[in-house]
Amino acid sequence: MITSTHKEGQCPGLRPLSALRGVRPRRSGWVPIVVGGGAALVGASGAMLCAFLISGVTSGPVDWWALVTSGVWSPQQSLFGVLPMIWGTAVVSLLALAVAVPIGWAAALGLHELTPARHRRTLRMAVEMLAAVPSIVYGLLGVVLLRGLMSRLFGVTGGDSLLAAALVLSVMVLPTVVSVSVDALADVPDSVRETGAALGLSRVEVIGSAVFPQARGGMLAGAVLGLARALGETVAVFLVIGRADGPLASTVNGLLRSILQPGQTLTTKLGGPEPLLAGTSGTHWATLCALGAVLMCVIAGLTLLAQSRRLDRRGGRTRFPPRARRHRGARDRLGVASLRTALALPILLAVGIAVVVLERGTPALDPGFWATPAAGASGGGVRDQIIGTLLLVATAGVMAAAAGLTLALLIGEYATPRVAGWMRTATLTLGGIPSIVLGLAGFWFFGSALGWGKSWLAGTFLLGLVATPIVALAVTAQIGRLPRERLETARALGLRRSQVVRSVLLPYTRPALVTGLLLGLARAAGETAPLLFAATVFSGAGGMPAGVVDAPVVSLPTHVFNLAQDAADPAAIRAAWGAATVLIIIIALLLIVSMPIRRRLEKERV
Amino acid sequence: MNAIAIRDLTVSKRSPKRTKDNKGRHPLVGPASFAVPHGEVIGLYGPSGVGKSTMLRALVGLLPDGLDAEGVIRVLGVDVLRQRPSALAELRTRAVLVPQIAVMFPDGIIGNTLFGLRHVVRAPANQLRKRAEEALAEVGLWDEVRDRLNAPAAELSVGQRQRLALARALALDPEVILLDEPTSALDEASAAEVEETLQSLRGHRTLLVVSHDIEQLKRLCDSLVPLHRPTSTSN
Amino acid sequence: MNAIAIRDLTVSKRSPKRTKDNKGRHPLVGPASFAVPHGEVIGLYGPSGVGKSTMLRALVGLLPDGLDAEGVIRVLGVDVLRQRPSALAELRTRAVLVPQIAVMFPDGIIGNTLFGLRHVVRAPANQLRKRAEEALAEVGLWDEVRDRLNAPAAELSVGQRQRLALARALALDPEVILLDEPTSALDEASAAEVEETLQSLRGHRTLLVVSHDIEQLKRLCDSLVPLHRPTSTSN
Amino acid sequence: ACTGKDGKRRNVLRVSGSTTVNPVAADVADVLRSQGMEVTIDTQGGSAGGISQLGAGQIDIAMSSKPLADADRKRFPGINLVATEIGRDAVGIVVRKSVHDSGVTSLTRTQLARIFEGKAASWKEFGGPDLPVYVYDKEPGRGTREVLDKYLYEEAATPPPVQPNGRYAIVGGNEETRTKLRTTEGSVAPLSAAFVEGSKELALVAVDDVPLTPQNIVSGKYPLARPLFLITNGSPQGNARTFIDRVLSAEGQKVVTQHGYLNLAQLGKR
Ligand SMILES: Nc1ncnc2c1ncn2[C@@H]1O[C@H](COP(=O)(O)OP(=O)(O)OP(=O)(O)O)[C@@H](O)[C@H]1O
Ligand SMILES: Nc1ncnc2c1ncn2[C@@H]1O[C@H](COP(=O)(O)OP(=O)(O)OP(=O)(O)O)[C@@H](O)[C@H]1O
Ligand SMILES: [Mg+2]
Ligand SMILES: [Mg+2]
């Protein structure tokens, strides 16, 4: 009605474009170059790890058959059987997932589907705070709080048990599951919810039948990332699992009972003292490297299983179609209530942990503690440690963002489906490798092969390697959810592949990139093992390194680790909690600062 | 009694900046008042972007985040703007909206047709399936899909999806059906078939049809309601 | 010379089970042969689900995974079925498809209108923007969106989105435009405006229009091409 | 001390190893740093790790809480390991106060062997309450563990593998050990004596009727004492010399006692 007059008045029709047409702009040619560079970096890291393990395994005779069939591990008697460790690994990580995945999924659903948009971000941040707590603190909390509970509830003497380790791990895995799942849910278009609800489905029915099937792929990715996290964790498991070797029980009953007894996982075996006692050649060392190889195989196997089409069907038929039930209203209210409860759980945990940590970490409340350098064994503050940690985390963040993104683009866009499948498995395996192995490999590579001393750069590299798979997998999962029509429309408008990547794929994956980076860096910031071996010292170095390849730094997580290990006097323990609290506060600040950025990124995703 | 009654309904956008309006709101639709008696077919029309779809969403309490409705909406005796979510879900089994864009769930063609049915209607599986197949036939889709009932519904053409969306709503046999451009993607023959089916509901079901095809509305409806742009917007 | 020439084009579905057909294929579209001379407007019609959209996709090399085209397709002299992906991307800047469903990118209204322009045309930002605004006016959307150019495009009504999708294609000023139901979500007035714009392109741009509105096609087109279901399918 | 291949390496003294020695070294290093010396202290891998790194030439001084074994020397044939004792730490056998008060005040070598091999079921066996024995053993490589093994098995080969019975767990650091002892009924563990002081729940038992007292350690009657060493490659030179001299000086020795260890004077070595 009004438009036509307007058209005549101001816009005299569309002129031919010939006047404007020139060379095509913005080839986005840097995209393939960057992807290539990232691929090279990731490939080099993989090669380093493999070279380390292969050179280790071949440095002495390994009896592979006995390794995977025998139940007795005793280096003194040259008996090397890893069955009990494999059992421990399986029990601990699967139990952890069995607890964390249902709760995490339910919490994610409660968070994204039942919470008004304006509260979502705050609640999500509260859950992600759980990721900010460094492993050593989880371990100490487990020692202090969980063991007593275990011994009272199950009559486990001491409370050290596979079950305790699984519970600690499940809390550590929870934020990963929740965060990645929330991203997946955010990608389900609102029209799906609307259509479901318009057909008379109740809230839980909409969630269960309309939303969940579409988010399932991404939520599974969250679970798989959680699995990698569980498999790779060392320090926290260390402190509550008991770490006693023992022959494998032969009866079902015995196996079940072993869950309530101390045990050992592949990771704790590798992270324990043995690698240092074994030297760097001979049967013992070779067998330990073989253990690393076995662990990688276990992870790869679990990954393949989790990726199998059976679990991750993106379309197709629902196998057990739901049936109409009686009392749909009551069921709906019950379902909503339980989802909300599941959401409350991680948030209460986060609050509880914050209270416990703050209570013990009183030194952290003193500004002087933040601003003065450490003195002697346990005096002074943690100024240099803060600077060192920030340096390491920032540089590792840059590396993980670049490498993770390129890896994700390779998997999600450039590789053929078959290659992509293998690359995804490799990435997950990298993510599940215990950081201790990364530390040893880094120590071997930078220290022995390159002849560097301890160096912050090596630390950056190794921490980056810890965070890279998390970023890569979060982003890959999101690329997989990109609506096909969007790609088609972009292509129909004449965009080149690199331009499609630059303008459709990259913007779409930004939320996952941020989530992956936050989760990855939160984990990297709490990581001790790679730093202890390759990058930090207890004292005598500043926060800012004095050089590049031969300049160690000090860092908060390793500081906490050292203080908590053997400190004789109460001052050291106080300092340890103080430093841990500082670390948690820093990561919390990081999360809070990232909130507005995320808000912007997520608003753009519709 | 009226199946649908609307008084002074306005839908407005919550403005985050609290500028435009005295209440920090920006009106999108209305104010509108009309009623649909039981068993009648009413047509709603107006230019693109005037707020027809938004209005239908408001009627069954499905406004997207950020939009608020004010006024009075009564559908089948239920005061929509003052209901708990579970009561609204209950209402939506009796007053079904067929949205303008037909969304397919990641499921087969038959699975999609059964989608609402199997949640809402308690009956043996084979009866439900029979009903779904009949509904597909009613909208003229049966012949096109009978030999690939388990193929992913996402592969259907746009017009096929539109008919499927209609079929799964009809299968529920609701008292009120809100149709948002039910034949916009259909050729004449298919549209005629759909119209015939809708005609057959006249008298015992209440229909509110949004369409830009005035001729079609004239054929189908007992009376027509025009929708106008809210007066306070800039244009 | 012809802008578009198709000979014996069939699109078939790769069957994973290798049953239906001798080659494990299941024909969906065709065989079809027709040509569109430079500067003409041709209409393509056929019942819902016959394969019109699939055909348009095939023309610019955008068939979804699992579908294969056979025969000969030449668009602007390019042999589409035997081209490297980069050459196809180049072709698609000159022969633009406007898909049946208007997809909005997570960006503002103006950002969406600029989407193709920004990537395909090198010119100062303000010139591009001016052009995008003109294109919005051309499809009759300018007045509705001028005061919220940076609002998310996803909030637009279905008809508004459809016009935006047309505008961003027109802004590229391509030699060939493939239109899939360009006015299916529009009321009469808006549709008339769009038709007028399309009319103005006659003579110097080549148009292939798919529509279920035969009257519209008769108004717009120099000649019409019917599309039939492949003979070998069961129905 | 260390000159790298490029010659540009800074003159940094690198110290690493046992966490038991670490507090002493850290305090001394702090003083030296204020005098302009560059020292880094690190505790990667405990005593064994320190010796490995020294052997690999990655550090200048290894901190160790166990004497050098022949095996160590054999592992690094090209290196002349020289250990300087700086003090001594006593390893206590720590049990719960309740167990101690109800009669378990002393354990013999055979009794300890039974306990740490996981063969003892109940404290009744040792004159205590009818409470299961829960063993926290130190992980291999820890100085504490080696002192105990050496006492139980002397130089004779290796300890037999533990009978798994669900009442045996491995611990790492001293703090971890103390916390676990405090919270586990019927537990027993070897632990640095310094850690037991001031703990209401824990008590030390005598070994072969010799209680853990400074006199008994000095006289050598108490069997479970371990010397604390700083180990260098060849006799200490340059910065390493300065560092070790500082630890051996009067102020340095005061630091040793501050951290709960016996210094050389108390041991009668001065
Ligand atoms: N979530 C939203 N936020 C802001 N504005 C919205 C939102 N949803 C719709 N609008 C605006 O409200 C107006 C009405 O939209 P609606 O989809 O109801 O139009 P319609 O009458 O159905 O149009 P059409 O015939 O094109 O489908 C449009 O201008 C649209 O841009
Ligand atoms: N990816 C696919 N896999 C299998 N079948 C498909 C696929 N895409 C389309 N089809 C089928 O091909 C046929 C033609 O679809 P198309 O979308 O081209 O129809 P259309 O003529 O555009 O119909 P409408 O007018 O309804 O839009 C339909 O039967 C459809 O189900
Ligand atoms: Mg609409
Ligand atoms: Mg179509």
Q: How far apart are CA B86 and CA A205, in angstroms?
A: 11
Out of B15, B26, B52, give the residue to mutate to test ligand 1, the one with the largest number of ligand atoms within 8 Å of its CB.
B52
A317–B97 CB contact, under 8 Å: no
The answer to whether B97 contacts chain A (CB < 8 Å) is: yes
- In the complex, which subunits touch A with 3 or more CB pairs below 8 angstroms? B, C, D
Task: Name residues 29-88 of chain B within 8 A of C (Cβ).
Answer: 45-49, 51, 53-54
The conformational region for residue B61 under phi > 0 = left, psi -120 to 50 = alpha, else beta, is left
**What is the 8-class DSSP label of residue B202?**
B
pLDDT of residue B97: 93
Does ligand 1 come within 6 angstroms of the Cβ of B16? no
Query: Is the CB–ligand 1 distance for residue B49 below 6 Å?
Result: yes
Q: How many CB pairs under 8 A join B and C?
A: 83
- D256 in reach of chain A (CB within 8 A): no
Written as one string, the DSSP assignment of A526-571 is H--HHHHHHTB-SBS--SS-SSSTT--B--HHHHHHHHHHH--SHH
Regarding the beta carbon of B50 and ligand 1, being less than 6 Å apart is answered: yes
* Ligand 2 pocket test, candidate residues C14, C21, C52, C55, most atoms within 8 A of CB: C52
As beta bridge partners, residue D53 has: none
Whole-number pLDDT of residue A24: 54
Nearest-angstrom CA–CA distance, A74 and A80: 6
Question: How many Cβ pairs closer than 8 A exist between chain A and C?
Answer: 141
CB contact under 8 A, C86 and A603: no
* Gap from D69 CA to chain A (nearest CA, Å): 13
DSSP string, A284-297: HHHHHHHHHHHHHH
Tokens (6 digits) for C103: 């997809």
To test the ligand 2 pocket, which listed residue (B155, B181, B184) has its Cβ within 8 A of the most ligand atoms? B155
**Cβ C53 under 6 angstroms from ligand 2:** yes
Q: How far is CA A528 from CA A106, A227, A548, C22, in A?
A: 31, 20, 20, 62
Rounded CA separation D64/D226 (Å): 10
Chain B interface, mutation test: which of C65, C166, C187, most B Cβ atoms within 10 Å?
Answer: C187
The 10s digit of each residue's pLDDT in A339-394 is 999 999 999 999 998 888 888 888 777 887 877 777 766 777 788 888 888 888 88
Query: Is residue A7 scored above 50 in pLDDT?
Result: no
- Ligand 2 centroid – CA B158 distance (Å): 8
Residue A315 has pLDDT above 60, yes or no: no
Q: What is the mean pLDDT of chain A?
A: 81
* CA B198 to mean position of chain CA atoms: 13
Question: Closest by alpha carbon to A408, among A422, A423, A396?
Answer: A423
Q: Across the strands, what pairs with C69?
A: C11
Cβ–Cβ below 8 Å for C158 and B101 = yes
A251: phi then psi, degrees, rounded to nearest 5: -100, 160
The reported pLDDT for the residue numbered B232 is 52
- ipTM, 2 decimals? 0.85
- Ligand 1 centroid to Cα of residue C127, in Å, is 29
Distance, C-alpha A12 to centroid of its chain? 57
Domains A87-275+336-364 and A366-605 share a fold: yes
Average pLDDT, chain D: 83
- For chains B and D, having 3+ Cβ pairs within 8 Å is answered no
Looking at the DSSP bridge assignments, the partners of residue A113 are none
C190 touches chain B (CB under 8 A): yes
Cis omega (within 30 of 0) for bond into A511 = no
pLDDT at site A503: 85
Q: Is B147 exposed, middle or buried (0-12, 13-18, 19+ CB in 10 A)?
A: exposed
Q: Is C185 in the pocket of ligand 1 (CB under 6 A)?
A: yes
Percent of chain D with pLDDT over 70: 93
Given a cut of 90, whether residue A218 has pLDDT beyond it is: no
pLDDT score at D1 = 35
User: Cα–Cα distances in Å, from C58 out to A103, A498, B172, C12, C53?
Assistant: 46, 22, 38, 11, 9
Tokens of B144: 């096109």
- Closest CA of chain C from A316, distance in Å: 14
Which pLDDT band holds residue A167 (cuts at 50, 70, 90)?
A: very high
Model confidence pLDDT, tens digit, residues C111-157: 999 998 888 887 788 888 888 998 999 888 998 888 888 888 888 99
The pLDDT of residue B233 is: 45
C226 touches chain B (CB under 8 A): no
Burial A259-268 (b: 16+ CB within 10 A, else e): bbbbbbbbbb
> Which of C142, C156, C164 for a ligand 1 pocket mutation test, highest count of atoms within 8 Å of Cβ?
C156
Nearest Cα neighbor of A177 from A416, A515, A436 is: A515
pLDDT at A344: 93
pLDDT of residue D7: 37
pLDDT at D61 (0 to 100): 92
CB contacts, 8 Å: B59 with chain A: none
The answer on pLDDT for A25 being more than 80 is: no
CA of B113 to the centre of ligand 2 (A): 18
SS3 A322: coil
**C194 CB contacts (<8 Å, ≥6 apart)?**
C139, C140, C163, C166, C182, C183, C186
For residue C65, give the ligand 2 atom closest to its CA: 1
Nearest alpha carbon to residue A89 among A178, A148, A165, A152: A165
DSSP character for C21? S
Evaluate if residue A247 carries a pLDDT over 70. Answer: no
Distance CA A414, CA A505 (A): 12
| Domain A87-275+336-364 part of CATH 3.40.50.1370 | no
Q: Which residues of D touch A74 (CB under 8 A)?
A: 161
Nearest to A412 by CA among A398, A402, A401, A424: A424
Which of A143, A247, A539 has its CB closest to that of D26? A539
Answer yes or no: is pLDDT of A288 > 80. yes
Ligand with minimal distance to C51 CA: 2
Task: Say whether pLDDT at A101 is over 90.
Answer: yes
Pocket lining: B93 vs ligand 1, CB cutoff 6 Å: no
- Write out chain D's pLDDT in tens, 270 residues: 333 333 344 578 889 888 788 888 888 888 888 888 888 888 777 788 888 888 888 889 999 888 888 878 888 888 888 999 998 888 889 999 989 898 888 999 889 988 888 888 889 888 888 888 988 888 877 778 888 888 888 766 567 767 667 788 888 777 778 888 888 888 999 988 777 877 888 889 999 889 988 888 888 888 888 889 999 988 888 888 999 999 999 888 988 888 878 888 877 776
Q: In chain C, which stretches have pLDDT less than 50?
A: 19-21, 233-235
The pLDDT value given to residue A99: 94
CA-derived radius of gyration, chain B: 18
Read off the pLDDT of each residue in A83-92 and give the average, rounded to a whole number.
88
Residue whose tokens read 């007292």: D213
- The bound ligand whose nearest atom lies closest to the alpha carbon of C152 is 1
Neighbours of C40 (CB within 10 A): 19
**Nearest protein Cα to ligand 2, atom 28:** C49
SS3 of C37-74: the string is: ECCCEEEEECCCCCCHHHHHHHHCCCCCCCEEEEEEEE
Q: Determine the residue type at D110.
A: T
**How many whole angstroms separate alpha carbon B38 and alpha carbon B41?**
9
- Tell me the chain C residues in contact with residue B157 when contact means C-beta distances shorter than 8 Å: 48-49, 51, 53-54
The predicted-structure confidence for B26-46, as pLDDT tens digits, reads as follows 788 878 888 898 888 999 998
Kindly give, in sequence order, each residue whose CB lies less than 8 Å from that of residue A16, ignoring residues fewer than 6 positions away. C173, C204
CA-to-CA distance for A420 and D127, rounded, in angstroms? 66
Q: Which CATH superfamily is domain A366-605 in?
A: MetI-like (1.10.3720.10)
B97 neighbourhood in chain A, CB within 8 Å: 198
- A71-83 residue pLDDT tens: 778 777 778 888 8
pLDDT digits (tens, 9 = 90+) for A391-407: 888 899 988 998 898 88
Calpha distance C75→D120 (Å, rounded)? 88
A494 with C99: Cβ contact below 8 A? no
DSSP letter for D141, please. Answer: T
Peptide bond into B31 cis (omega under 30): yes
Instruction: Provide the 10 A C-beta neighbour count for residue C37.
Output: 14
pLDDT for position D3: 37
Domain boundaries, chain A: 87-275+336-364, 366-605
Q: Is B47 in the pocket of ligand 1 (CB under 6 A)?
A: no
A518: closest CA of chain D, how far (Å): 28
Q: Does B76 or B18 have the greater pLDDT score? A: B76
Whether residue C152 has its Cβ less than 6 Å from ligand 1: no
| pLDDT tens per residue across span D107-160 | 998 899 888 888 888 898 888 888 889 888 888 777 788 888 888 887 665 677
Chains that touch B (3 or more CB pairs under 8 A): A, C
Q: Judge if the beta carbon of residue B167 lies within 6 A of ligand 1.
A: no
Q: Give me the mean pLDDT over the B197-226 stretch.
A: 89
Between chains, do A274 and D140 touch, taking CB under 8 Å as contact? Answer: yes
Average pLDDT over residues B41-54: 90
Q: Looking at the domain B38-56+84-226, which fold is it?
A: Rossmann fold (3.40.50)
Residue with more model confidence, A29 or A521: A521
Dist CA A38 CA A427 (whole Å): 13
Binding site membership of B157 for ligand 2 (Cβ less than 6 Å): yes
